Structure 1
Amino acid sequence: MKHILLLTIIILSLTAEELSQAEKEEMKQLYLQNACNSCHGNYGEGMGASPKLQGLKEKVILKRLNDLQEGKTRTAFGTIMISFAQSLTPEQTRLMAKYLANLETKIPEERYDIEFTVEGDGGS
């Protein structure tokens, strides 16, 4: 039983490949250079008609990117994404799916104090 558990842990650690710091930075820059954040948010949180990417499984994001690369989209708003997806190399597509699946919203603790002072919010 111990051998099966150990083997399972080893297999899971091999399949749960993490992005290197260089890959994370490369995908972050690619995300920002392509202005993905202008519709999906800095952390993939979604905005308006643009879907939330944060929290989606990597394989779901990868399938959506591959569909977009083939010109398939679910909505009229999605047509803009086709050219963005098609500009990615296969390796960038794989890394971007992994990057997006691991995005987390990061809000500085002091943000509330800065944005919601009596002077800053009109006292509401």
Structure 2
Amino acid sequence: MKRCLPFVVLMVVTALTATAQAADKSAGETLYADECAQCHGREGKGMASFPSLTGRDADYIASRLETYRAGERVGANSSLMIPNATDLSDEDIANLAAYLGEQPE
């Protein structure tokens, strides 16, 4: 069993890396510009009551978008985000998370 552990760890890391690489950052950038920038700003630094998205981890972005898509309230802007996230596919969320997860603060 101890000899199998490094192999299992390698397989998990490989699977996670492949999933992260599967996201299309360019598609995320386009979707962000078309759907998100109006409220969060062209550079994702936030505007008015809309929070900054820069410096956020891709997993955080994906989790929040999935939560909004499920119709769950998680903050003051939930009533604005839920309708915007409802039509996002898993691929859209992965692409947005990949793009936003690499934006510097």
TM-score, normalised with respect to structure 1? 0.62
- Would you identify which runs of 4 or more consecutive aligned residues in structure 1 move more than 2 Å? 14-20, 73-78
Extract unaligned runs of 5+ from structure 2.
1-5
Extract unaligned runs of 5+ from structure 1.
106-124
TM-score, normalised with respect to structure 2? 0.72
How far apart in 1 are the matches of 2:71 and 2:28?
22
For the pair 1:15 / 2:17, whether they are aligned, the reply is yes
For the structure 1 residues 66 and 32, does the alpha-carbon distance in structure 2 shift closer, same or farther, using more than 3 Å as the test?
A: same
Larger relative CO (CA 8 A, sep 6+): 1 or 2?
2
> What do the CA deviations read for 1:44-99 (whole angstroms, capped 9, x no partner)?
11122111111111111111011101111223422111121111111111121111
Larger Rg, first or second structure (1 or 2):
1
Correspondence for 2:31: 30
Query: Following superposition of structure 1 onto structure 2, how do residues 61-80 of structure 1 map, counting pairs within 5 Å?
Result: 61-80=61-80
How far apart in 2 are the matches of 1:28 and 1:95?
8
Write 1 or 2 for the structure with the bigger share of helix: 2
Shift of 1:19: 6.7
Does the 8 Å contact 1:27/1:96 carry over to 2? Answer: yes
State the percentage of identical aligned residues. Answer: 31
